[in-house]
Chains A and B, each alone.
Chain A
């Protein structure tokens, strides 16, 4: 069984054809998706690919990522070895020996060492998966089998070389001891006289396993070896990800309920997932035992595409529903469990977009089927009828300012609009934040005005909940009002208003300069416009990142710096902070929904905050404040107070 092209060539051709067919069968399905331009800004894309795909920046965010980096880089080197292996199998005259020694010798040496590193990394990966799997279901046969195959390839490679070395003598032997130290080690175990047998066995093992491995890729999560790098290159450039606008014309359908409603890139995402589970570990819904698992959503999308794709290609309707129960469908409860916190997007090493795939499903349920959790009916009607979540009369909006005196925004006179938001206008607790902020603005001599009863809800919850129709109405009304009043600079105290006014409204043709109060208060202190006569004495203070302030808008430092100035000490950090911050449970419209399944997200987060033994938990979002305040009350930690950053600043400036 010497490597003979007459046997290997047909095998190789069949295996390669099969591999190409499998890849084509899958990747061609992405053509069912809608158009999406992902080829803008090529320079930036190349640079992102280098740092995220090749330098594996996000993979390295976790220590276990080191193993992956080792395997990835070894793979790249071993591509050279395997190319030689295949060429040699097809054309026995071709091997490294035809290269000049100055090239072939170091190459052989590198490959020998790299093979050992690969072997060790694969063993480490197997042990890690066995002992401390990223998530319990990660111990799949497939995962271990692939590791086993890689290990076999390495051992077979050593076998081939060891067998060769065992048949060498004298100077040649010494040379190869030097060049192939690892293979030489294995050569000692080759029984005398079996060199050829060991060589042929190893060679054919390597050949067959290589072809098997290649063919397993498209069938398994290891397809990511082929798709992940392009997936990083084709990543969404704009941040935060914005849902598409919808065109409300008769005859259109809204949202997505069939897999071909997604873009080709979103479909490619489903083939790029290697099931590492990082999104899942970061997901507040999954971590509190709700039936939403972002990894599962991507897998369900893939299965749905595989099941329906061939039919859809022929112009026939899908048979497996996209929204529903089962392995190839996404359940309604999963769809409604998302807090849109964006932790999955932040965690994914290959930029798969999990959360944005759920919004169009919500849109379909709300806009096409009127199917949504009961609690949302009131919310939707209140938002549409009275432009606030509680259904309070819009005329009550400016009442928080009763004691200060209403300060209408006047074009040309007021520098900033203070866009108070629904919570800040109507919620008794959040109104205190509004008043504190207003007093601080006055103290600093900031020129500001408010819209009072003319202010409307920004529509954040509606948009995240998939009620794009009503969001669209509100957004148009707000944008028209802002334009009419000549508003350009806006102060907000709610990160949901922040992101909606600043990012979502761009789709409606307005670019507002929106500043969160946590930023403005810091700048006012830094500019000396706010003096700190004393430090706020609130004891030990821990800061909780709002998802829409942090992950969605990148504001991490300013609140911390402002708190450090106000209290004289850096705020305490929870284990999950900044980019890895854990949601309070209220984002994505979850503020208005009951939480029936699993643990309550706000209790988990409140407990995490209490572990730091703080006297004060500081938030920068009225929703977070409500959730954490409820959380500490439920945990009977009444001595701990939850305060907004403006209230902390007010303690230092105004008391």
Chain B
């Protein structure tokens, strides 16, 4: 059984600024990282590999430089790393993205070995839509189990699994047949730190690149052309509330007085 983890290379958002004039992300000099939720998706796949001996492939759709992130996946121990990269894939929204990923998963399923699980991060930190995983599931006709924080049971013979979903204020225990698509939250696991021999091996391992000549998708249904969503503006919201009070280092006591005074003035302290 093959497990596919979908990963995305994203700009390290702690370091991202928005250009106030053009309303676009200033990407210059910003390092790329693997989407943090996806590191947990990949780790979940690798743990199932350790436990059941399944094979793990990672898929990523992105520009050629996303190879670095796929190499990181190889250093963690995945068996295959495939980059879906083609100009016609570019500018895709979540619909078009999930089409390309689903097509690649279908191809792996048909030509390599049956796919039992697709695992995605619950969302990416640059888009925050949480739509791509479910989009893949719908296109492939898989069960979708979002927000998984624990894989409780995987029964390969009976082709079913039981997971726990982390919902607001409660957990939900769900059983589903294989193949299924999971999106995962951070609580699921602790991603492994690659060993040096694995890193060195990954440095020379092959990252396969599939373009549209491999997937043979209609260019009208993918990329910018296949994306009904348009981003009209990106901006940083103005700070409408809150205030920075005093200087706690230079004058700790005075600052505390100042803060207490302000809180009492607004009647925010139960006295």
Partner-B contacts on A (CB < 8 A): 248-250, 252-254, 366-370, 372, 374, 377, 380-381, 385-386, 391-395, 428-429, 432, 469
Contacts and interface: CB of A to CB of B under 8 A. Distances in A.
B31 A385 contact: yes
Given A254-B196, A394-B15, 11 more contacts: A248-B200, A249-B200, A252-B200, A367-B196, A368-B195, A368-B196, A370-B194, A385-B31, A386-B31, A392-B14, A428-B249
Nearest to A369: B195
Interface in B199-214: 199-201, 204
Contact of A385 (B33, B191, B195, B249): B33
Given A386-B12, A395-B15, A250 B193 contact: no
Contacts of B242: none
Interface string B159-203: 000000000000000000000000000000011111111011100
A253 B200 CA distance: 11
6 contacts: A367-B196, A370-B193, A372-B193, A374-B190, A386-B31, A392-B14
A3 B107 CA distance: 95
B14 A250 contact: no
Nearest to B36: A381
Contacts of B199: 469
A248 B249 contact: no
Nearest to B199: A469
Interface residues of B, number: 18
B150 to A, nearest CB: 18
Contacts of A372: 193
A249 B196 CA distance: 9
A250 B190 contact: no
A250 B195 contact: no
A426 to B, nearest CB: 13
A391 B31 CA distance: 12
Interface of B: 12, 14-15, 31, 33, 190-197, 199-201, 204, 249
Contacts of B201: 250
A374 B192 CA distance: 11
Given A374-B190, A428-B249, A429-B249, A248 B196 contact: yes
A380 B193 contact: yes
Given A370-B193, A428-B249, A393 B200 contact: no
Nearest to B31: A385
A393 B31 CA distance: 10
Contact of B196 (A385, A391, A394, A469): A469
A593 B199 CA distance: 25
B195 A370 contact: yes
A377 B193 contact: yes
A249, A254, A367 — which one has the most chain B CB atoms within 10 A of its CB?
Answer: A367
Contacts of B197: 250, 252-254, 368
Nearest to A254: B196
A385 B11 CA distance: 12
Contact of B192 (A248, A250, A370): A370
A374 B204 CA distance: 29
A655 to B, nearest CB: 14
B16 to A, nearest CB: 9
Nearest to B200: A250
Given A370-B194, A385-B31, A250 B204 contact: yes
Contacts of A250: 197, 200-201, 204
Contacts of A392: 14
A254 B14 CA distance: 33
B184 to A, nearest CB: 18
A428 B249 CA distance: 8
A367 B200 CA distance: 11
Contacts of B31: 385-386
A385 B249 CA distance: 29
A563 to B, nearest CB: 23
Nearest to B248: A428
A370 B196 CA distance: 9
B26 to A, nearest CB: 10
A380 B14 CA distance: 17
Q: Which 8 A-B pairs give the minimum distances between C-beta atoms?
A: A393-B15, A367-B196, A370-B193, A250-B200, A469-B196, A254-B196, A370-B195, A393-B14
B195 A377 contact: no
A254 B190 CA distance: 24
Given A253-B197, A254-B196, A385 B190 contact: no
B41 to A, nearest CB: 17
Nearest to B29: A395
A250 to B, nearest CB: 5
Contacts of B204: 250
Nearest to A363: B196
A366 B197 CA distance: 11
Nearest to B12: A385
Contacts of A369: 195
A395 B200 CA distance: 29
B14, B33, B193 — which one has the most chain A CB atoms within 10 A of its CB?
Answer: B193
Contacts of A432: 249
Contacts of A252: 197, 200
B12 to A, nearest CB: 7
A611 to B, nearest CB: 26
Contact of A391 (B14, B193, B195): B14
B191, B196, B204 — which one has the most chain A CB atoms within 10 A of its CB?
Answer: B196
A367 B15 CA distance: 28
Contacts of B12: 385-386, 393
A557 to B, nearest CB: 31
Given A250-B200, A391-B14, A432-B249, A367 B190 contact: no
Contact of B190 (A249, A377, A393, A395): A377
A393 B26 CA distance: 14
A368 B194 CA distance: 9
Contacts of A391: 14
B189 to A, nearest CB: 12
